[in-house]
Amino acid sequence: MEYTFIGHQSWLIEEGNTKILLDPLLEDTFGFDQRYGIEVVPPRIVGEGIYKDIDAILLSHEHSDHFHLHSLNKISRKTPVYVGCLTIQPLIDAVEKLGFTVHKLKSREKIIIGGLEISAYQAHPKTVLWESRVYQFLFRSFKNNYSLFIAVDALISKDFEQDIYNKDIPQPDSILISNNSQIPPKGVTGSLDNLKIPENENRARMGALGLRLVKGIIINYSDLVHDLEHIILCGGGFMKTGDTFGEFMMSNQGKVAQLAAPLFPDKKIDGAVPGMVFRNGELLEERSINISENIERSIALKEKFLNFLQCPEWNLKAVSESSLFSFQECCEKILSEVLSKHHQIMASEFGRILVSTGNPNECFALTLIDGNTKLEKNFSYNWKTNNWKEIGNVENIPFGIRAIALDFFYVVIGKIQIWDIAGLAVSSWYDPVLGNNPIKYSPMGFIYSLFGEHFNTNHFEKLCNEQIKEISIV
C-alpha cells in the first residue's frame, strides 16, 4: 500500500491500480470567505495525476478543510463518493448537485474497492460537538495485509478501539493522527486564548506548549496509540490569508516529527509534508511527481513572518468588506440570533457553567466592535430571563466574546462560516480561576458549536449552493 500526502489532511491511498482520495484539497485555498479564504501550508502545487482515474472519494465530515467543492469539481463524476451516515444532508445534496453518486457508511461497515478493504468508524462519543460527525477510516491491503488507520480530526473511534481490544481486527501497522495544534507567535491571540490572562502568563500556564501537545498526541491521546510503533502526524496545514504573521508554528509536521523523535525512541514518528510518499509504513526517498513545493509562495510567507517578528502588532481584523448594514443593525441581529438559541445554550455544557456562577445578570458578555470607527458596545446576557442589556464595561464579567460586528453578523445570517472568522475577527475570555482548559471553559468552543454546520444546516446549504453557482462544472 502506498499513501501520498497532498496537504493539511488530504491523502491519496493506492494499492496496485486502486486509487482512493480522502478529503481532497487540491487548490491553494479553501473556505467560504471570498475576501481572504484559508490557505494550505506549506504551499504546494497539486498536479492532475493526483486526482485522475480515482476509484473512490472518502469525505470524513463537512468542515471546509475536508469538504471542498472546487476540488471535487476537478474529479470525474464516475467516481463514487462515500460519507458517514451522520453526515449532514446539505453536504450530500451539494455533492450530488455536482453530479456524483453518494453512498452512506455506518460505523464498522466495510467496503471493498479494488485491492483495498476500507472500514468506516464513527468518532469517539467524547469528541467535541463540532467534530462529532467525523468518520475515520481503516485501510487494509489484500496483497500483504498491511493496514493503516487514519484518525481524522477527532478522538479515536471507540468502536475501532473495541474492535482492537476484542481482537475482531488486528492492530494497524501505522496510524495517521491529526495534529491541528496552531500556535501563534508572540503578540498574537490564538482563537482559544484567554483575554483575561496576559499573553506571557497564557503561555506559561500551558508550559512548553509544543512539547506538551506532542506528548498529548502520542501518549495521552489513546492507549491504542501508546502501543503502536509507527505514527504519522498531519493536519494544522492552513493559515488565514488575512493574518499578518504568516503560517502558524507547528503547521509543518515534518519539523514537529523531527523534534518529537528523540523524545520517543521506541516509536517511529513521521511528520507529513506535501508530496511525501509512504509504502507499507516506510517513507520513500522520492517525492510524488504530482506534488511540488510552491517555492515563490513559501519565500513570501517566510518574509511575512520575519517582518511580523520585527514589528509584532496584532489586533482583531475585519474579515468582511463594508456593507449596507449599519453597526447598530449588525448588533441588533446578533443579539436577537443568540436569544433565539436560548434552549441550545441552556442545554449545553457551557450553559451549565454559566448557571453555576449563580449570577444570571452578569456572567456572560458580548463586546461588538465597529470595524470602521473602532467603536465598541458591551452587552450582558441574562440566562434566566433570556435578554440582553447594554453595559459600560465588562471587567467583572467572567465569560465573554469580542468580535468585529459585521463579521459576526455575516456568520449569524449565513454569509460566511464561524471558521472563516476564528482567530481573526473574534476572541474570548473566561475566568482563569475555573481552570485552564479552553475546550471546556472558553466561550469560543461554545460558539463553534452554536454556529457550526450541525445547528445551522440551512446556512451551510445556502453557502454550498452559492459556491456551486460559481463553479464551472466540468
pLDDT tens per residue across span 183-208: 777 777 777 788 887 655 555 444 45
CA distance 32 to 436: 32
Whole-number pLDDT of residue 205: 44
* Segment holding 4, helix H or strand E: strand 2-7
pTM: 0.92
At 42, list the grid cell: 506549506
Domain with CATH 3.30.1050 in the chain: 327-470
Largest Cα–Cα distance in the chain?
69
Average pLDDT, the chain: 88
pLDDT per residue as tens digits for the range 399-448: 999 999 999 999 999 888 888 888 788 999 998 877 677 777 889 888 88
Q: Are 100 and 72 in contact (CB under 8 A)?
A: yes
CA distance 448 to 135: 19
Is 266 exposed, middle or buried, given 0-12, 13-18 or 19+ CB atoms closer than 10 A? Answer: exposed
Domain with CATH 3.60.15.10 in the chain: 2-309
Position with higher pLDDT, 95 vs 196:
95
Which CATH superfamily includes the segment(s) 2-309? Ribonuclease Z/Hydroxyacylglutathione hydrolase-like (3.60.15.10)
Q: Which CATH number fits domain 327-470: 3.40.30, 1.10.287, 3.30.1050, 3.40.50?
A: 3.30.1050
Q: Are 8 and 234 in contact (CB under 8 A)?
A: yes
Helix-strand-coil percent breakdown of the chain, rounded to 5?
Answer: 30, 25, 45
Is 165 exposed, middle or buried, given 0-12, 13-18 or 19+ CB atoms closer than 10 A? Answer: exposed
Percent of the chain with pLDDT over 90: 52
Nearest to 129 by CA among 456, 408, 406, 389: 456
Name the β-bridge partners of 399.
364, 430
